[in-house]
Chain A
Amino acid sequence: MAHAMAATSGKINAEVIEVQEFPELGREFGVRGVPLTVINEVISFTGAANEQMLLEHLKSALE
């Protein structure tokens, strides 16, 4: 979903990270469960994100 949004807008930087291969990133972002989505390194939520949910989080990241 994050990639789909980034394919639509160059303003979205989307990274999918396989956390077992990069445990240091997992520690840095406090990953305890997956999938974990982190927006602007501030907002984060666990669980599969549907489009509407991710959109709402992106909107709140701009506030």
Chain B
Amino acid sequence: MTQFLNQSDSNFVRSRFEKEMVEEVKVTLFTEPDLKGLIVPGMGCETCVPTQQLLEEVSRLSEKIQLNIVNYKEEIELTKSYGVGMVPTIVFSRDDESNIKYLGIPAGTEFPVLLEAIINVSSGSPDLSEETISFLNSLEKEISIKVFVTPN
């Protein structure tokens, strides 16, 4: 199987993880199992297997990344408790929080989103202005933000 990351990509990502990660991060992929080529185009989850492969490559680049693969059809309670409705969905957390998700495969131009999510969760201190941080810390109600993207 071809790799998503070549040697130079891997070196770049490994060095960013070494410099910027602090705490361990749980990367949980909700997915369906590999049907061994039985996928009919337009049916089933075409990106589940490649997403798992990409996350396996990335998680090998830092011992602070703990990758969990969850079959959403079997782990129904867990899937529900993370608020996951579709696959593939990736949840980034330090403990068991589930407020940071990526739906789909974070490849191509969306790959930086994957890196930043891992680094931000790990460091717990994203590069935000004081105004933003104080606003976020003052929140009493939950706010949902959905960002729709397409890879190029």
> Which residues does A use to contact B, with CB under 8 Å?
2-22, 25-26, 29, 31, 34-41, 49, 51-52, 54-55, 58-59, 61-62
Interface size of B by CB at 8 A reads: 44
Distance A16 CA – B135 CA, assembled complex (angstroms): 21
Which of the listed residues A9, A37, A51 has the most CB atoms from chain B within 10 Å of its own CB? A9
Distance A29 CA – B149 CA, assembled complex (angstroms): 13
With both chains docked as a complex, state the minimum distance between the C-beta of B60 and any C-beta of chain A, in angstroms.
Answer: 22
Q: Which among A10, A11, A16, A54 is the interface contact of B149 at CB below 8 angstroms? A: A16
Say whether, besides A14-B100, A55-B132, A58-B135, A38 and B145 are in contact (CB < 8 Å): yes
- Asked if B146 contacts A11 (CB within 8 A), the reply is no
- Asked if A36 contacts B148 (CB within 8 A), the reply is yes
With both chains docked as a complex, state the minimum distance between the C-beta of A17 and any C-beta of chain B, in angstroms.
Answer: 4
Task: Give the residues in chain B near A5, CB-CB below 8 Å.
Answer: 126, 128, 132, 136, 145
Distance A6 CA – B133 CA, assembled complex (angstroms): 11
- Asked if A21 contacts B103 (CB within 8 A), the reply is yes
B150, CB-defined interface residue at 8 Å: yes
With both chains docked as a complex, state the minimum distance between the C-beta of A27 and any C-beta of chain B, in angstroms.
Answer: 11
Task: Give the residues in chain A near B150, CB-CB below 8 Å.
Answer: 18-20, 34
With both chains docked as a complex, state the minimum distance between the C-beta of A62 and any C-beta of chain B, in angstroms.
Answer: 7
Besides A14-B101, A22-B103, 17 other A-B contacts (C-beta < 8 A): A5-B132, A7-B121, A7-B126, A10-B99, A15-B102, A16-B102, A16-B147, A16-B149, A17-B148, A17-B149, A18-B105, A18-B150, A19-B148, A26-B148, A51-B128, A55-B131, A62-B143
